[in-house]
Amino acid sequence: MPELETQTMTAAPEALIAKVKAYNPDVKAGEITAAYEYAKKMHEGQVRASGEPYYTHPLEVAQILAGMKMDTGTLITAILHDTLEDTAASYDDLKNKFGKDVADLVNGVSKLTRIESQTVEGKQAENFRKLLLAMSEDIRVLLVKLADRLHNMRTLDAIKKPEKRQRIALETLEIYVPLAERVGVHTIKTELEDLAFGVLNPEARESISNRLSFLRKEGSGVVETIINELAALLETSGIKAEITGREKTGYSIWKKMQRKNVAFEQLSDIMAFRIVVDSIEDCYTVLGLIHGRYHSIPGRFKDYISTPKPNGYRSIHTTVMGPARHRIEVQIRTHEQHSQAELGVAAHWAYKEGKVPSLKDVKKYRWLRELLEILEQEQRPEDFWENTKLELFQDHVFAFSPKGDLIELPSGATPVDFAYAIHSDIGDKCVGAKINGSIAPLNTKLSNGDQVEIITSKTQNPSPTWERFVVTGKARSHIRKFIRAQQRDEYATLGRAMLQKIFRQEHYDFTEKAVTGVLKQFQLEENDDLYARIGSGLTPARDVFKAIFPAHKTEMVKRPSRDMDQAVMVKPLDGRDAPVPIKGLIPGMAVHFARCCHPLPGDRIVGIVITGKGVSIHTIDCDTLETFADTPERWLDVSWGEGPDSPEAHVGRIHVIIQNEPGALGTLSTVIGANGGNITNLKLTNRSVDFWEILMDIYVNDTRHLNHIIAALRATPSVTSVDRARGGS
C-alpha cells in the first residue's frame, strides 16, 4: 500500500533530524526522537479531521520551525505542543522528561491554545493580538503558535463545513497574519495570507493567478531581461550580488487593487527585484549605480538601513523607471539583512545556533522585551485602514466577560474596574466576582485571559474602600460620584451654616425664601442643592450672598466644576464658531488644539496645561510632548466627547507630491471635493520641473475621513505620494 508508506515516511522523525543537522551538526537527535515517541504515545488513538493519526501534526509543525532554523528546545516544544491540552500529560511529566525550559514553553503554547478557542469579532482583533503577545512571555511560544496555525491552514481542506473554514481563514487574516508580520516572520506571513485569501475569496485568487500567468507568457522574458541588465550594470563596478526578480503575491496585488481601486491592468509595479550583496557599503554603491542609470520615482525611496523599521527590518527600497520603461521596485540589502527579513526574530536563533549551541546565555525575556518596545513605538504610515497605534499594552491586562467580550484594562485592574468597564450600573451594584469560575475578592488583581463574572445585588452601593484599589478613571469617578451624593447631606448642612454666617456678618436676616429666589441663577432646583455646593466648596457662599443682594454686586466668579465626565466645547484651530466636545477638561479653562500635530477625532489625545495659556490638546504621539515628559502634573487625561460636533470642525493636514502637468492641481481638488473634503489652505513647499510638493489643510470629520481622502488621492494617476503631515504651522 503506497499511501500508507508515504504516511509513515512523513510521520517519522528522521526527516526532521536530517533537516536540523543541515544547520546544527551538534543536534541531539536522541532528544528529538524521545519527544516524538512520547507525543506519539500520548496522542495514541487520536485522529485529525483528515483521518491521519494526530501525532503527524505536531511533527509537521516542528518541520516548519526547522525550516526557520530554530533551536532544539523550540522543535521539541513543537512536537509536544498539544500534549498538555489534548492528552493526559501533565506539566510535571514534561518537566521530568524534557526539562523545565521545554515544559514552560509547552505550557505557554497551551495557554495560547486555550485563549484561541474564544472567538472574537472584527473590531476586537487588535485586542486579541495584544493579548496573545502579552501572554507569549517567551517569543518562541508565539513562533510555535504561528507554525501551528500555518500547518492547520495548510490542511484546512480536511474541514468539511465551509463556514468553519471561512471563520478560521478570517481569524488567520485578522490575527495571525499581523502577528507574523510584527515579529517579522515574512515567510509565514505570506503563506498564511495566501492560504486565507484562497479560502475567503477563491474567485479573486484564481483570476489574479490566471492573469499573472498570462502576463508572464505575454511579456515572457521581461524579468529575465531586467535581471540581465541589472547584472551587467553591477558587473561594471565589480560588486558581487545575487539578483532575483519576482512578481508580488496574489494577495498583495489584490490588496493594492482594492486600496487604490484600480484594475489589474493599471498596476504598474507588479515586478519587484531584490539585490543581495555582501556589505552595507555595497548596498549604497548599488543604489548609486541604479539611480545613476534609471530615473527614480520620487516619494518611493526608503532607506530602512539607516532607519530600520520598528520590527527590525533593514533594506533599501526604491522604485525606478527601469529597462524598457517598466516601473520596477528594487530592494537592496545584505545577506544578513535578508535572512532577518525573511525569518524575523527567528533569525536570531539561526545565527545563535551556528556559533553558540547552548541557549543558556540568552536572557530569556530579552526578545520579548525588545519586541514590546518595538511595538510600543510602532508607527505604520503605510497602514491604510486606520492609523491605530498599539497602545502601551504591556501596561494592560485583557479579561473576558462571560459572553466572550474582551475587555482591556490597565494592569493592576480589579473585578471592580472590570465591572465599571462593562457598565456603570454593574459597577455600582457589584458585590462579588468569580474569576475563572471561582469566587475571588473584589480587590484581586486580574491576569491576562481571566474570565470574569460579576455578581450584583440591587441593594449594594459603591463602597469608599473600593477607591483604594481601583485603577481605572471610570471606576474611580463613579465611586466618587456616589460618595459625593452620600456626603451631599453633610455638605448641605455645612453650606447652609456658612451662608447664614455671611448673612449675620452683613447684618441681614436669613430666609429660605431669599435663597430660593436665586436658584435659577445657579441653575439649581432646590435650596439643598445650593447649600451642598457651598458646603463642598464648589460655590463660594459670598457669591450666593451677592446674588441675593445685588447692591453688593461684584462680578460673579464661576468656580470650575469638578465633573470631568462633562464634555467641554473647544473652538477649532482657525477660530471658527464650530466648537468640538472634549472630555476630561475643567469647564472655564481656555483650551485650544495644538498646531504641531492637528489632532482629529480618532486620534488618541492628551491635554497639556500651559501656565497662563490654559490647555493645549495634542495627539499622544506628538513630538512636542517630549518637552513635558518631566512635568507629569501638567498632563490631563482627555478624550473626544460625543454630542454636537459640527461638520467640518476639524482640519487635517496632508503632504502631497504631484506630477507637474496641466490640470494636476485641478484634479487634486476635484478628488478631495468628491470625497467630502474641503480645502482650507494650500502651500507649495517644493517645486521642480517634474514634481510639486504641497501641504494642504482640509476640513474633515475625523481620521477615518482623512484616510478616506488620502486613499482616493493615492488612486489618482497624477498623484505620486500622499501622507498625513505633522509639524509646521
Residue numbers annotated as active site: 85-86
CB of 449 to Mn ion, least distance (A): 18
Nearer to Mn ion, 148 or 603 (CB): 148
* Of 80-88, 274-282, 385-393, 616-624: span binding Mn ion (CB under 5 A): 80-88
Nearer to Mn ion, 50 or 516 (CB): 50
Nearer to Mn ion, 82 or 543 (CB): 82
Q: What Cα–Cα distance (Å) separates residue 147 from each residue in 70, 180, 187, 188?
A: 12, 10, 11, 7
Total chain residues near Mn ion (CB under 5 A): 2
Q: What Cα–Cα distance (Å) separates residue 297 from each residue in 8, 287, 322, 479, 614?
A: 54, 13, 10, 59, 45
CB of 109 to Mn ion, least distance (A): 8
Nearer to Mn ion, 113 or 624 (CB): 113
CB of 611 to Mn ion, least distance (A): 59
Alpha helices per DSSP H over 155-238: 162-171, 177-182, 186-200, 202-218, 222-235
Note whether 60 binds Mn ion by CB under 5 A: no
The helix/strand/coil state of 621 is: coil
CB of 54 to Mn ion, least distance (A): 9
Decide: 427 and 462 in contact? Cβ < 8 Å: yes
CB of 297 to Mn ion, least distance (A): 45
Contacts within 8 Å (CB) and 24+ apart, 353-362: 353/23, 353/24, 353/69, 353/71, 354/23, 354/24, 357/24, 357/26, 359/71, 359/73, 359/101
Can you count the helices (H) and strands (E) in the chain? 27, 22
Minimal CB distance to Mn ion: which residue? 148
Q: What mask, x for binding Mn ion by CB under 5 A, covers residues 194 to 233?
A: ----------------------------------------
Nearer to Mn ion, 196 or 698 (CB): 196
Nearer to Mn ion, 150 or 275 (CB): 150
Cα–Cα dist 110/104, whole Å: 10
Decide: 174 and 125 in contact? Cβ < 8 Å: yes
Residue 676 region by backbone torsions, left for phi larger than 0, else alpha for psi between -120 and 50, else beta: left
CB of 55 to Mn ion, least distance (A): 11
CB of 146 to Mn ion, least distance (A): 11
Site for Mn ion in 95-124 (CB under 5 A): none
* Of 30-38, 74-82, 172-180, 331-339: span binding Mn ion (CB under 5 A): 74-82
Question: Which are the contacts of 305, defined by CB distance < 8 A and separation ≥ 6?
Answer: 280, 283, 314, 315, 316, 333, 337
3-state helix, strand, coil in the chain (%, to 5): 50, 15, 35
Nearer to Mn ion, 57 or 705 (CB): 57
* Of 141-149, 316-324, 447-455, 716-724: span binding Mn ion (CB under 5 A): 141-149
According to CB under 5 A, which one of 31, 148, 181, 697 is a site residue for Mn ion?
A: 148
* Of 77-85, 352-360, 596-604, 689-697: span binding Mn ion (CB under 5 A): 77-85
Please compute Rg for the chain using Cα positions.
Answer: 32
Residues that bind Mn ion (CB under 5 A): 82, 148
